[in-house]
Structures are given as structure tokens and as C-alpha cells.
């Protein structure tokens, strides 16, 4: 048993002393691809999603503008505020993705 442990330790030490092998051609990072069909479709659809997100945000803002909301429970107000925060975050994400896709398309065009 002691001999096995020592042999294993020596083998591990030998592996640690060897330099790492050079990367093979197929181990290199993949090349960047062009603007894909799915990205093109996503770019075409994103303005509709943004419009829907803006409409949702406007509807929430209208509800928040109702004075009756503030006479209700704080739980209702907190729920609507959380809903607005989520809608705003979704809209920000959509705008960021739109910019990203536009940049990819522009890079492909040259």
C-alpha cells in the first residue's frame, strides 16, 4: 500500500513537471460567425416586443397614477411597484438586445 501511494505521488509529480501540450488545430477557439438567421428573425421581432413592453409600462403607470391605489393596502402598492420594476427591467433588456443585434448586423455589413 505504501508503495502504491508513493508510485502514484511520483507519477503525479512527473505529470506536473511536463509542459502542457500545445493546442491542436481543432482545440482553438471557434471563429466568429456572421449574423445568423435566428438573429435576423429576432431583430425583426424585437420592435413588436418593445412596443408591447412600453404599453405594459404605460398601463402600470396609469394604475399607479390612480389616487385610490394609495388609499388601499401597502401590499397592493408594493405589488404594483414590483410589477413596474420588472416591466422596466424587461424593457431595458429588450433595448439592450436590440442594440446588440443592430451592432452585429452592422459589423456583418462592413
Residue 101 corresponds to which cell in the numbers above?
Answer: 443585434
Does the pTM exceed 0.85? no
- Spell out the per-residue pLDDT of the chain, length 110, in tens: 556 667 766 776 676 666 656 666 665 555 556 789 999 999 999 999 999 999 999 999 999 999 999 998 999 999 999 999 999 999 999 999 999 999 999 988 76
End-to-end CA distance of the chain: 66
**Locus of grid cell 488545430:** 25
User: Whose CA is closest to 95, among 51, 59, 39, 30?
Assistant: 51
Q: How many whole angstroms separate alpha carbon 37 and alpha carbon 15? A: 46
What integer pLDDT is reported at residue 38 of this predicted model? 94
What integer pLDDT is reported at residue 22 of this predicted model? 61
Amino acid at each position: 500500500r505504501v508503495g502504491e501511494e508513493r508510485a502514484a505521488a511520483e507519477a503525479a509529480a512527473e505529470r506536473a513537471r511536463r509542459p502542457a501540450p500545445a493546442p491542436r488545430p481543432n482545440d482553438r477557439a471557434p471563429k466568429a460567425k456572421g449574423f445568423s438567421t435566428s438573429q435576423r428573425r429576432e431583430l425583426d421581432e424585437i420592435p413588436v416586443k418593445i412596443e408591447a413592453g412600453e404599453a405594459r409600462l404605460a398601463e402600470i403607470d396609469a394604475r399607479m397614477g390612480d389616487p385610490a391605489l394609495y388609499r388601499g393596502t401597502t401590499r397592493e402598492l408594493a405589488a404594483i411597484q414590483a410589477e413596474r420594476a420588472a416591466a422596466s427591467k424587461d424593457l431595458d433588456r429588450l433595448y439592450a438586445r436590440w442594440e446588440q443585434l443592430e451592432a452585429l448586423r452592422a459589423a456583418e455589413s462592413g
